[in-house]
Amino acid sequence: MKLGTLKEGGRDGTLIVVNSGLTRAVRATKVAPTLQRALDDWAAMEPRLQALAAQLAGDKAPGSFELDSTALAAPLPRAYQWVDGSAYVVHVELVRKARGVEMPPSFWTDPLMYQGGSDSFIGSTDEIEAGDEAWGIDFEGEIAVFVDDVPMGTSATASRKYIKLVTILNDVSLRNLIPAELNKGFGFLHGKPATAFAPVAVTPDELGAAWDGARLNLPLISTLNGKEFGHPNAATDLTFDFGQLIAHAAKTRHLEAGTVIGSGTVANRDAAAGCSCIAERRVRETLDGGKPVTPFMTFGDRIRIEMFDRDGRSIFGAIDQKVMRYTPPA
């Protein structure tokens, strides 16, 4: 089952069920007005949403319509909590190596995670707004899961059962603002503007054999200005799976339904797989040639992030964003 949210009906949008081909959809308001409402009572809502999905697949859903990705918000336009991990420690290792900084051994056993802004996620075709190119505008292709209520202290193995939906995202980063911010010791704020999500989030059964319950064994394709930038496999070189990330987030707190857990930038040790962010490519260039060559994004640049199943069909739809200058109101 694939679920999305229309930009209508208020700040939390209107829940829709989308067909597997991402071509048609139907409003799910008779089941739940929003995705958050569905997640709040998932055990009761999921069977009814699955029944609606079956109707849509059989062309028997009243009121179905042609899907327009530009009409979609993020599947969850806002969430109670958004925590992003750094599950691909090879990515962290490369960055620290380029800076000449040794990586603590604990990074391989204890997940690194930050709490991001979840009050305003943006849709897959919404513009990336920035006030200045000098901020170092970067994309980050990631995987994310939406969870049910997770009790505090849940183990990594038990955490898997709380994963209800899977999607991909662009964790936009302003690289030149991050170092000074992190040096203050309180984590990200200005360096992490609004995160963009794919058109739909899917139930794990949609992923077939590519999903093992906690990791997604498929390449994530990033295309910058029409040229492929990277295609790392999301299961290769994954240090912490989603069960481990959820357990880490729930170590000292209960997680409410609708909490979003991110994987961090998908990265492979093999340089031939390319990169899911510009910063990593610049690090590799520094290690290979002594200095970075690839610039960060500028106004007018376009980033596309997408994942395909083994038959070449888009699973979540594409994140397809243009970078634009933001001018604040007078």
Q: What is the rounded CA–CA span in Å between residue 319 and residue 75?
A: 12
Last residue of a domain, one of 43, 70, 97: 70
- Do residues 123 and 16 make contact, with C-beta atoms less than 8 angstroms apart? no
The candidate with the shortest Cα–Cα distance to 220, out of 116, 76, 87, 121, is 87
d(CA 152, CA 227): 44
Q: Which of 70, 102, 124 is the last residue of a domain?
A: 70
**Residue 220 and residue 177 share a domain:** yes
Let me know whether 59 and 122 are in one domain.
Answer: no
Q: Does residue 114 share a domain with residue 50?
A: no
Residue identified by tokens 């040794």 is 102
Does 103 lie in the same domain as 41?
no
- Tell me the C-alpha to C-alpha distance, in Å, between residue 218 and each of 4, 230, 306, 312, 314: 22, 13, 11, 11, 11
> 267 and 193 in one domain?
yes
Residue 330 lies in a domain: no
Output the pLDDT for position 233. Answer: 98
Between CA 132 and CA 325 the distance in angstroms is 7
- 82 and 57, same domain (yes or no): no
Q: Show the low-confidence residues of the chain (pLDDT under 70).
A: none
Q: Are residues 184 and 237 in the same domain?
A: yes
309 and 254 in a common domain: yes
Question: Are 268 and 236 contained in the same domain?
Answer: yes
- Which of 70, 90, 110 terminates a domain? The answer is 70
Q: What is the pLDDT of residue 139?
A: 98
The two structure tokens encoding residue 287: 């290690």
| 14/89 same-domain check | no
> By three-state DSSP, how is residue 124 classified?
coil
CATH number of the structural domain spanning residue 242: 3.90.850.10
- Give the pLDDT score at 319: 98
Q: Does residue 117 sit in the same domain as residue 22?
A: no
Instruction: Provide the domain count of the chain.
Output: 2
Statement to judge: residues 104 and 121 lie in one domain:
yes
Whole-Å CA distances, 167 to 91, 99, 227, 319: 21, 32, 23, 11
pLDDT tens-place string over residues 101-156: 788 889 999 999 999 999 999 999 999 999 999 999 999 999 999 999 999 999 99
pTM: 0.97
Domain range for 60 is 2-70
